[in-house]
A and B are shown apart, each in its own frame.
Chain A
């Protein structure tokens, strides 16, 4: 490095030693969710007898992964300062497209799966372009997409198959190989793990890599944390946002294919309300509602808390009505913690 003068001191400054490891840890966005996850785990380990069994944990991981596959890209979008309320029904849309296109147009389900990928990504592009070309907040834009998709899911399904669900495609060519990819079960040490867990882990790794080690990641944080400042130094703000919406669409495609190939038929009314679950998982995982702060790992842990709570209540043989209460309390706690983090980070000395 030519710029470094001979007298340049090393990066580690003697004053840095005074920063305690605890203080460093407090600066991580995942902190709240890790503490929460440990607490929830211990809670159910004590109160639900069957919770610690390997098969139970596999069930918990499966439940977490189905939420986590969406929570991770939704978290990236939130770090970029935007919401996507259409994320929940987009999963159903993606599954419906594969199923109906395969059934009506071709003999091989993989063609439908490919068409579904393209069309779902196009929905993501639509969300992103609508947002960046016009003024209203993403909340309103994607609320519109949400309603449109909800209507189209039901309308098209009834129009084409005459009922609210799709026809079975299990006897079609390519079904078993597609099931292997999206909905198979791997047996490790006598315990059955769903393949969605692998998809989830892969998404966490890729998202974390993008966020922390690529230029795009830098832009995502900047776009969410200070859009005008980012634009002033030449960051392609609009492209970044459109890309983030495409990321959510990609997650919806994976989730949708899992839905289709594990149940063979798709109920066209499904998915409504799930968008909030993804957002809650991201917030519990430390993403700021206002953007510019958060992590993919945090969102994944948020999804894990979800999975542990929803299944833990079943294992403890409690009334599942309490699940929502739990979730609400968790969300409030996470939000308070986030508010405190933001105040600390933005405080001027």
Chain B
């Protein structure tokens, strides 16, 4: 993997490992995220993707290896610290409160207020306008920011969560399987916003098990299998076909084919 020497990576993991007791969850994994680039982490279920996210998001501490944010070695204590360092994690199912209006969701936990003392109150108008404008910047033209966010499609909800992270000054966006539960068209919409976030200068970590989605937007690809890294490529080092083959299991898939063909047809 080639490194641009003059640029400091926003997030850099080098040989990071994590064990749960005697279970190897992650071993010797390296990942670099630069501003304005998308680093994809690919892997099947149980490959260690969630553990990797939890380390970056501050939910777990890594056991060995180095984890640097903007060149500074670090070991995050909790999710709040991760947020404060500019890393926003958007979880697939944790993103929003369905019954609340879009604008209340957008500012949840960081509401804007005006006035003081007992008359300190939400600046509803500013929040509504900001939500509308920020979503529009990401290319989402909402009819009504007062509608419950549950009435939006799954893709749009992901997009609101992404737009929220961008607005609140995230430098690094960690997306946990943003397209996993979505249809083809909606996945496209989400990938567009992922690209928009990249163009806005953010570093993006895209966790996915879909090589096609990854290859559409990714600059780097890290492949995980059973907790270990079995491939790390820059975009010009690998083709989509090769990425797909490796994700699908490569030689394992050939073995499976033989096995299935060898059986008697029912």
Contact = CB atoms under 8 A, between A and B. Distances in A.
Interface in A174-221: 209, 212-215, 217-219, 221
A11 interface: yes
A222 B108 contact: yes
A215 B79 CA distance: 21
Contacts of B129: 1, 4, 8, 11
B130 interface: yes
A218 B108 contact: yes
A135 interface: no
B180 interface: no
B108 A230 contact: yes
A159 interface: no
A230 B122 contact: no
Contacts of A218: 100, 104, 107-108, 111, 122
Nearest to A345: B148
A289 to B, nearest CB: 13
Interface string B99-115: 11000100111110100
B98 A345 contact: yes
A229 B94 contact: yes
Contacts of B110: 233-234
Contact of B153 (A209, A212, A348): A348
A5 interface: yes
B137 A345 contact: no
A235 B143 CA distance: 27
A3 interface: yes
B145 A233 contact: no
A8 B151 contact: no
Interface string A58-81: 000000000000000000000000
A229 B99 contact: no
Nearest to A223: B97
A19 interface: yes
A286 to B, nearest CB: 12
Interface in A280-327: 288, 292-293
B150 interface: yes
B132 A11 contact: yes
Interface residues of B, number: 41
B161 to A, nearest CB: 9
Interface in B102-158: 104, 107-111, 113, 120-122, 124, 126, 128-130, 132-134, 136-137, 143-145, 148, 150-154
Contacts of B113: 214-215
Interface string A330-342: 0000000000001
A226 interface: yes
Give the interface size bracket for A toward B: 35 or more
A269 interface: no
A337 B221 CA distance: 50
A226 B96 contact: yes
A213 to B, nearest CB: 4
Contact of B96 (A214, A215, A229, A293): A229
A347 B154 CA distance: 11
B150 A1 contact: no
A210 to B, nearest CB: 10
A225 interface: yes
B228 interface: no
A348 to B, nearest CB: 6
B95 A346 contact: no
A215 B95 CA distance: 19
Contacts of B79: 232
A133 interface: no
Contacts of B107: 218
A229 B95 contact: yes
Given A215-B122, A234-B83, A349-B153, A11 B98 contact: no
A234 B150 contact: no
B148 A229 contact: no
28 contacts: A1-B130, A3-B133, A3-B134, A4-B130, A4-B133, A8-B132, A8-B133, A11-B132, A13-B144, A16-B144, A215-B111, A218-B100, A218-B104, A218-B108, A218-B122, A221-B99, A222-B97, A222-B109, A225-B97, A225-B99, A226-B97, A229-B94, A229-B97, A232-B91, A234-B110, A293-B99, A345-B148, A346-B151
Given A3-B137, A218-B108, A348-B152, 12 more contacts: A1-B129, A3-B134, A218-B100, A218-B104, A226-B97, A228-B94, A229-B97, A288-B99, A342-B99, A345-B98, A346-B150, A348-B154
Interface of A: 1, 3-5, 8-9, 11, 13, 15-16, 19, 209, 212-215, 217-219, 221-222, 225-226, 228-230, 232-235, 288, 292-293, 342, 345-349
